[in-house]
Every structure is written in structure tokens, then in C-alpha cells.
Amino acid sequence: MRILGIESSCDETGLAIFDSQQGLLGHTLYSQVDTHLQYGGVVPELAARNHITKILPLLEKLLLETQCLPADITGIAYTRGPGLIGALLVGAAFAKSLALAWGIPSIGIHHMEGHLLAPMLEDPAPAFPFVALLVSGGHTMLVEVTHLGHYRILGESLDDAAGEAFDKTAKLLGLPYPGGPALAALADSGDPGRFRFPRPLTDKPNLNFSFSGLKTHTFNTILRSKPLSPELTADIASAFQEAVVDTLLIKCKLALKQTQHSRLVVAGGVGANQRLRYKLAVWQQESGLELFFPRLEFCTDNGAMIAYAGFQRFKAGFDDEATIEARARWPLDSLPDFSEG
């Protein structure tokens, strides 16, 4: 089996080819950062138009780099949702048309299943069962994964996702889009001990998250601290990052305790955060926890995770009907179990 994966749910066009024998053959990505920079965030209509212009040249590049011919591809996986509807439709229509032209099946993949399975592309890959911390721009959730396709949501964000909180707080601090990585870079140069920000919901026994209050707390600190020197800005960024990272860590510990699992998988854009990785690594050394991350470039949106999830779903016997469908909203725990393929 040789699967072409196509990701277009937000501001990155990602394509990849996964082979059942040889693993990942190659991947290619176009990031729309320059397009959205002047607006301070993703403009959905521009994102969709940008996917249209980039998707075919990226496919040609990928086929050339991997030395694959269209005839070598046995199936196409694309992100069906959740995400920006116009952006999703570009990938879905492209994938479906290509599948029809090439006479091969296609399958729509849940974006968060893609993130969740991304660590499977690494060596060693996590064995089942495990708990997954999914931290992206749109979602923050803890998921118990007993086998492929069986995703029990243990807790999730009640308001802003962790990545969203990073992005919005970055804006408050006057940092450019994309805010998350910019805030993280600034935070790493600050003093995390100058301010102590709240760790929301960590006094509760549930596994939910809430980051919007932390964002407001940061905003109030900014107002009280004006005029902001570069040093003060870095210290506030650092206190914010520390609060998010500690909160995620506390909830991960609780999730493992409650489920009695000893494996943790961390995926999604915020999984690229170095402070989070550092604190998880310290915990791993102290506790014997088995910890898995995708490589940095597969934490954020990419085609490889979609190709891999597609490979697993095709292998289990799934494929799409002839309709073109994209879903802006799509609960992860409504996916069919792999045994139903």
C-alpha cells in the first residue's frame, strides 16, 4: 500500500507519501505565514485561495522527490475536518478528483486523529494503550487510546485551546503572528519566577482545561506593568508559558493516575514547545513514564500524519463514499472503531 496524504485544514498545505513497507517516503509543506502576517491571524478566505494555488505544485514536487509515479499510489487520504471549511474543501475536492482520475480509493481523516497518530511515525513508536495529550491551536484534550480508532476523551478545554491562548496572549504582548512560537521564544529568555500566574482548574479532580482566565490575568498584568520594558515583556511571557506548561503537566499526571496507564503521547502544535518538552522529560526521568513525541516538524500541521492515519484506516478496510464532504466540526470520539472497517 502506498498512500498520498493531504492536509489543508488551516494555514499549512502539507502533502506526504507513506508506504506500508518502507514507511514515510517523503513529505512537503507550504506554510502561509507570510499571507496572514499583515492581518495578525489566519484569514479563512485567503487560506482557502492559497491552498488552491499551492496544492498541485506541491504534489508535483513530492512525486519528483520521492520518485513516485501516480500509478504507484494506491490510496489518497485527506483531512476531512475539523478546520476552516473553505480550506478543507480545497483538500477534499483535490483528493477526490485525483482519486477519481487515478482510479483509486480516498478516505477523509479526522485532523486530530492525524495528530494523535503522528508519534507512530517515530522509532520507537508507542504501544497501546496510552494517554494522549493533544495540544493544538483549536483543541486541548486528554484522550485514552486503547487501540487504533478507539478514542475516549478524558477531558478537554472548556474555552480557549492551549495554542489559541498562546496566540492571543502573544497578540496582547505585541508579538507578530504566528504568536505561539514567538511567545515561546521570548519566554525562554525571561525569568519564569518574577510573576506567578494561576494554574487553572488544577485544584479540580477532573481533566478539563480552561485557559481564557489565564489570558485575562496576563492582560491585567500587562496593564498594571505599563510601560513595558523588553525585560518585563519577556518575564510576563515566561510566567504565562510556565502556567500553561505546569497546568498541562498536572493534568497529564492526573490522567495517567486515573487510567493507570504508564505511556504518554504528546502531539499537536504546542507539543513543539521546548519548555513543555523539558518539563515532561524531567518528569519522565523521575517517574519511569514512557513518553512519546512526534519530531518537531510533525507536531504542527503536516501531510505525513494524514498519510499515516489514512494508511491505517485503509488497512482496516475503510474508504469513502463518492461524495465530497468536509466538516468544520467533528467530535473525535464519534469515529468508527477500527474493528468496524
List residues near ligand KG4 by CB under 6 A.
10, 136-138, 163-164, 166-167, 178-181, 184, 268-270, 272-273, 300-301
CB under 5 to 8 A by kind: which of Zn ion, ligand KG4, none does 163 bind? ligand KG4
Provide the 10 A C-beta neighbour count for residue 209.
26
Among 79, 136, 169, 221, indicate the residue that binds Zn ion (CB under 5 A). Answer: 136
Residue whose CB is less far from ligand KG4, 96 or 168? 168
Which of ligand KG4, Zn ion, none does residue 181 bind (CB under 5 to 8 Å by kind)? ligand KG4
How far is residue 267's CA from residue 272's CA, in Å, rounded to a whole number? 8
- Measured distance CA(64)–CA(238) in Å, rounded: 43
Closest contact distance (angstroms) between CB of 22 and ligand KG4 is 26
Please identify, among the stretches 132-140, 168-176, 251-259, 316-324, the one whose residues bind Zn ion according to the rule CB under 5 A: 132-140
167 contributes a contact to Zn ion by CB under 5 A:
no
Span interacting with Zn ion, options 118-126, 274-282, 301-309, 316-324, rule CB under 5 A: 301-309
Question: What is the C-alpha to C-alpha distance for residues 11 and 83, in angstroms, rounded to an integer?
Answer: 10
301 is a site residue for Zn ion (CB under 5 A):
yes
- Please state, as a whole number, how many other Cβ atoms lie within 10 Å of the Cβ of residue 138: 19
Q: Which residue number, 73 or 307, has a Cβ lying nearer to ligand KG4?
A: 307
DSSP 142: E
Residue whose CB is less far from Zn ion, 232 or 306: 306
Maximal C-alpha separation, the chain: 63
Is there binding between residue 157 and Zn ion (CB under 5 A)? no
Compute the least distance from the CB of residue 180 to ligand KG4, in Å.
2
* Cβ-contact 8, 91 below 8 angstroms: yes
Q: Which is nearer to Zn ion, 136 or 140 (CB)?
A: 136
Report what 108 binds from Zn ion, ligand KG4, none; CB cut-off 5-8 Å by kind: none
Could you say which of ligand KG4, Zn ion, none residue 270 binds, taking C-beta under 5 to 8 angstroms by partner kind? ligand KG4
Number of C-beta neighbours around residue 316 at 10 A: 15
CA–CA dist 240, 165 (Å, integer): 10
Sole window of 120-128, 131-139, 161-169, 252-260 interacting with Zn ion (rule: CB under 5 A): 131-139
The full DSSP string for 55-111 is HHHHHHHHHHHHT--GGG--EEEEEEESS-HHHHHHHHHHHHHHHHHHT--EEEEEH
**Quick one: 144 or 301, whose CB is closer to ligand KG4?**
301
- Part of the chain binding Zn ion (CB under 5 A), chosen from 15-23, 38-46, 57-65, 136-144: 136-144
Judged by CB under 5 A, the stretch of 130-138, 143-151, 180-188, 212-220 that binds Zn ion is 130-138
Nearest residue (CB) to ligand KG4, 245 versus 256: 245
Query: CA–CA separation, 262 vs 138, rounded Å?
Result: 26
Q: How many Cβ atoms from other residues are within 10 Å of residue 274's Cβ?
A: 14
* CB neighbour burial string for 140-151, b if at least 16 within 10 angstroms, e if fewer: bbbbbbeebbbb
Residue ranges in contact with Zn ion by CB under 5 A: 136, 301
